[in-house]
């Protein structure tokens, strides 16, 4: 690529992209030039927001005011943030945030407007959640609150990316207009992550599993990891997986509408990782003891295979069959799980 003519701030932005997410950064950098820069900066705008939202050492009032003014912040030359706690893995990004703000200026107007609009909605959504989570220590209450939170942190990302894809002309206007499918792309990934990260989030006192679900099985979210509630915990896990699986058909439909090969790879890889993750999480009591992840070898195979819709359908079919094989007839959600898997097979 024409790195020679890249400014210092642009080079630094790509260094941050590669620092924050190795495997995923590689796929972003394969996108066509114009879209690549927009997605890279969009990613860093989102990472900045995430680093503020995730940092429990920032006083709630300060956090909320930063989140609510993110749209202004990303056009404020020289703005940076040095008060992140020491263990915030992306604190250096916020220390050097002026390089992101500088490079955003070079994006074409349409891309900028999309990124600013999503940043504004996400910042306010995160602030809304942070404030009521501050009052109500249970975190997320209803399944509706759960979907709302996932919309703010992930659904909006799907919407923003779909708009960028259509704005670039590489994908049809339909991709950007079909909000339901774009939102499902985010919710599917985010819900798989929230199920996987049960223990890690509980240790950080972040409670994303909705009370409306876990209260059918135990008295408190933390009871799920006590061996005396093992059966209930596994049934609760099934219920959480069932909720995530409902989004899978939309994701397959979304991917079947993508035409550009590089955009397809960029969109498909996280989706096949998510269905593989759900399959390994389902009926797996280890979720309550450690962070269960798919093996490196399986990840590499999925990355290599997820390059066309027929292969992606084949991958989803494989993992829905794994889930059906693991399904337990004594599980209250046994039938709903098999129907959800059937619907995924249908939509293939």
Give catalytic residue positions.
Answer: 149, 196, 206, 266
Helices (H), 105-229: 109-135, 143-150, 156-167, 173-177, 179-196, 198-203, 211-214
Stretch that binds ligand D9A, among 66-74, 156-164, 218-226, 320-328 (CB under 6 A): 156-164
* Residue 190 in contact with ligand D9A, rule: CB under 6 A: yes
Among 43, 70, 152, 214, binds ligand D9A (CB under 6 A): 43
Site string for ligand D9A, 5-34 (x = CB under 6 A): ----------------x-xx----------
SS3 107: coil
Among 31, 115, 270, 319, binds ligand D9A (CB under 6 A): 270
What is the separation of C-alpha 64 from the centre of its chain, rounded to a whole number of angstroms? Answer: 21
**Among the listed residues 248, 242, 221, 243, the one whose alpha carbon sits nearest the alpha carbon of residue 232:** 221
Please return the burial class of 174, using the count of CB atoms within 10 Å of its CB with bins 0-12, 13-18 and 19+: exposed
Query: Residue 97 carries which DSSP code?
Result: T
Among 100, 127, 140, 185, binds ligand D9A (CB under 6 A): 185
Q: Which residues, in sequence order, are CB contacts of 271 under 8 Å at separation 6+?
A: 185, 188, 189, 251, 255, 306, 312
Q: Among residues 192 and 331, whose Cβ is nearest to ligand D9A?
A: 192
Q: Which residues, in sequence order, are CB contacts of 186 under 8 Å at separation 6+?
A: 150, 151, 153, 154, 155, 156, 157, 158, 159
* Residue 237 in contact with ligand D9A, rule: CB under 6 A: no
Q: Among residues 157 and 275, whose Cβ is nearest to ligand D9A?
A: 157
Q: Which two tokens stand for residue 261?
A: 């090969």
* Residue 186 in contact with ligand D9A, rule: CB under 6 A: yes
* Residue 266 in contact with ligand D9A, rule: CB under 6 A: yes
Query: Residue 261 carries which DSSP code?
Result: H
User: Closest distance between ligand D9A and the C-beta of residue 231, in Å?
Assistant: 29
Stretch that binds ligand D9A, among 97-105, 127-135, 185-193, 318-326 (CB under 6 A): 185-193
List Cα–Cα distances, 29 to 43, 180, 196, in angstroms: 12, 27, 27
Residues in region 193-222 near ligand D9A by CB under 6 A: 193
Q: Which residues, in sequence order, are CB contacts of 109 under 8 Å at separation 6+?
A: none
Among 189, 240, 258, 272, binds ligand D9A (CB under 6 A): 189
Stretch that binds ligand D9A, among 104-112, 189-197, 201-209, 235-243 (CB under 6 A): 189-197
Site of interaction with ligand D9A (CB under 6 A): 21, 23-24, 39, 42-43, 46, 153-154, 157-158, 161-162, 182, 185-186, 189-190, 193, 266-267, 270
């Amino acid at each position: 690529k024409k790195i020679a003519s890249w400014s210092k701030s642009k080079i630094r932005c790509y260094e941050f992209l590669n620092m924050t997410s190795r495997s995923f950064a590689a796929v972003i950098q394969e996108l066509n030039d114009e879209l690549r820069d927009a997605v890279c900066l969009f990613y860093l705008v989102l990472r900045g927001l995430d680093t503020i939202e995730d940092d429990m050492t920032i006083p709630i009032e300060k956090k909320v005011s930063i989140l609510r003014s993110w749209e202004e912040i990303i056009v404020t030359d020289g703005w940076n943030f040095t008060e992140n706690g020491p263990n915030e893995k992306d604190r250096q990004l916020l220390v050097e945030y002026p390089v992101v703000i500088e490079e955003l200026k070079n994006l074409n107007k349409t891309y900028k407007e999309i990124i600013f609009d999503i940043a504004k909605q996400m910042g306010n959504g995160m602030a809304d959640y942070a404030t009521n989570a501050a009052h109500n220590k249970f975190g997320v209450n209803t399944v509706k609150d759960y979907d709302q939170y996932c919309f703010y942190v992930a659904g909006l990302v799907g919407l923003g990316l779909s708009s960028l894809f259509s704005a670039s002309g590489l994908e049809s206007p339909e991709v950007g207009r079909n909000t339901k499918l774009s939102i499902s792309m985010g919710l599917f990934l985010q819900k798989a992550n929230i199920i996987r990260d049960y223990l890690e989030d509980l240790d950080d006192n972040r409670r994303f599993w909705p009370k409306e679900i876990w209260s059918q099985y135990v008295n408190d979210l933390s009871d799920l990891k006590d061996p005396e509630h093992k059966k209930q915990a596994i049934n609760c896990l099934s219920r959480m997986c069932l909720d995530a699986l409902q989004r899978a058909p939309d994701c397959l439909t979304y991917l079947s509408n993508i035409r550009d090969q590089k955009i397809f790879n960029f969109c498909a890889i996280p989706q096949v990782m998510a269905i593989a993750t759900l399959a390994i999480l389902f009926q797996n009591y280890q979720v309550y003891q450690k962070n269960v992840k798919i093996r490196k070898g399986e990840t590499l195979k999925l990355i290599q295979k997820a390059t066309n819709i027929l292969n992606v359908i084949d991958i989803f079919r494989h993992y829905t069959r794994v889930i059906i094989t693991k399904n337990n007839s004594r599980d209250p959600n046994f039938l709903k799980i098999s129907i959800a898997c059937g619907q995924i097979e249908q939509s293939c």
